[in-house]
Amino acid sequence: FFQKTLNAVKTWFTIFGWSKGQNPISIPYSLRRDVCIVQLSVVQEKNFKRNLDKDKGFYEMLLHLNGQPIPGFGATQALPLDPVERMFQLHWQHSELLSFLKSQGACLSHVMPEFLLAPEDYKLWTEVNTGLRVGSMRSSGKLSGKRIFILEDSVFETMSKRAWTDVLLQIYKVFVLPRVASCIVPDPSSLERLQNMPGIKSEPLCSNIYSRYERTVLIWLNKNYEKYRKIVWKDSQRGGIPPMRWIVNFDRDLLDGLVLAAQIAAYCPYLIPTHFIKMYTDPRTHEQFLHNSLVLVKALHAVNLGIDIKV
């Protein structure tokens, strides 16, 4: 599940995260690399093989999605050459990033700044904060009093991958999802169909799980599914018209593909006779769920979304 989530996040940010076209990313490797913009001397620059694209750094992506930089430091801020000072600068940078995202509504209390560091910087951080680097203790006072997790290399890589994935998910949540606009158009027929269905409120404090914008998407899913389920599958040969349902989450309620198919059919009705009519409307076996997923993927490929979607 986590690997599929990571792949979906990586695909979206690769395609849509940048102002000047696609930029392939890897989580966490390219993200950790792109925040380490080190100021080099002339001699070092001659031996430095990697040509960093200043328009493709992590903070440039954040600037593109947010519209403004993180207060307090620039996107191309140089780092000290001293390894310990460089590590502290990066730790502070990550702390500011997390604080800024949390101030915008991100849920990142479980992510610690040290988990966003590169492995070599994380080792330095643990050495300094456990007293193994005595000469650097003068710099570690501001971190004293906090619990220190000393992780093995493989465990740290797993933790770092999860931390960066969660950071990207929350960046999407606080900077991209709020662009969803609710367009209320009176539709007496749809209101009549929905009158017996429990409503989903979009007020900010109505849920401690989903944001107001996520609930707006849920409302949109409910309205479109209820409106189009009888249209899309009126001639279905694989179970008839699917029953009414109340869509309250983004995982279990979307597993059979029918809700997503109804949304696509609302905008691309020409896919109904060629694709969606072939779906099982009451899937019960793994094979039927897989069949519906394959039909949905083929439909998405047919409209040339440009996203490499796989089952």
- Over range 13-33, report the average pLDDT: 87
| Distance from C-alpha of 216 to C-alpha of 222, rounded to nearest angstrom | 10
Look at residue 214 and give its three-state secondary structure.
helix
CA 20, 24, 28, 31 torsion: positive or negative? negative
For residue 55, what pLDDT is reported? 45
pLDDT in tens, 150-204: 888 889 999 999 999 999 999 999 999 888 766 654 454 444 455 555 556 555 5
Joined tokens for residue 94: 């990550």
pLDDT in tens, 91-141: 998 998 999 999 988 889 899 999 999 999 999 998 888 775 544 444 444
| Distance from C-alpha of 52 to C-alpha of 69, rounded to nearest angstrom | 19
Joined tokens for residue 47: 């031996």
Joined tokens for residue 170: 């929350």
The structure's pTM equals 0.69
For residue 220, what pLDDT is reported? 87
Contact 260, 296 (CB under 8 A): yes
Joined tokens for residue 4: 């599929």
Contact 94, 70 (CB under 8 A): no
For residue 4, what pLDDT is reported? 87
